[in-house]
């Protein structure tokens, strides 16, 4: 599976935190700095493995912890239709 931002989401990163506006639902969201870094990477399609590798390299955490965090991030954002999951 590959992942990317829902192209309909308006967003801006402000002091390292993304403020997202879902134009179809009229909902505002805000991401913490690590989630914002992942969100920014999702401007281009990413695999789970690529995101996990980014987190382990950028935040000095083990792969198991990084994978759990990335899974939680993707689960939350795909559930809210902020991120799209695309078949390989």
Partner 1 sequence: MSSFRRVLVSPGVALRLVTDDAALGAKIEERLGAHLAGDTPADAELVLDASPIPGAKWDPEILGRLDGDALAIEQSGGRGAFDLAQRHGRMTVSTDVEWFHLYFENALRMILVELGERAGMRICHTAAIADPELPRAWLFHGPSGSGKTTSTEMALARGWRPINDDLAFIGIGDDDRVVVQGCAFHGRTRIRDFAHGQFPVGGLFRLVQSDRHHASPLPLPDAVRELSRALVSWRPRAKAEQEALLDFAGEVCRRTPSFRFEFRKDASFLEAALDGLR
Q: Which residues bind partner 1 (CB under 8 A)?
A: 7-12, 14-17, 19, 21, 23, 28, 30
Surface-to-core class of residue 44, CB atoms within 10 Å of its CB (0-12 exposed, 13-18 middle, 19+ buried): exposed
| 3-class DSSP assignment, residue 10 | strand
Nearer to partner 1, 10 or 72 (CB): 10
Query: How far from 44 is each of 18, 25, 37, CA to CA, in Å?
Result: 16, 23, 13
CB of 28 to partner 1, least distance (A): 6
Q: How far apart are CA 49 and CA 30, in angstroms?
A: 24
Nearer to partner 1, 25 or 65 (CB): 25
* Two structure tokens written together for 60: 């000095």
Nearer to partner 1, 21 or 54 (CB): 21
CB of 13 to partner 1, least distance (A): 8
CB of 19 to partner 1, least distance (A): 5
């Amino acid at each position: 599976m590959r992942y990317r931002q829902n192209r309909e989401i308006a967003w801006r990163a402000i002091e390292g935190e993304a403020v997202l506006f879902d134009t179809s639902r009229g909902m505002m969201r805000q991401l913490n700095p690590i989630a914002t870094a992942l969100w920014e990477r999702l401007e281009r399609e990413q695999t789970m493995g690529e995101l996990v590798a980014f987190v382990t390299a950028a935040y000095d955490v083990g792969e198991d912890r990084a994978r759990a965090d990335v899974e939680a991030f993707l689960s939350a954002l795909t559930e809210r239709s902020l991120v799209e999951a695309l078949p390989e």
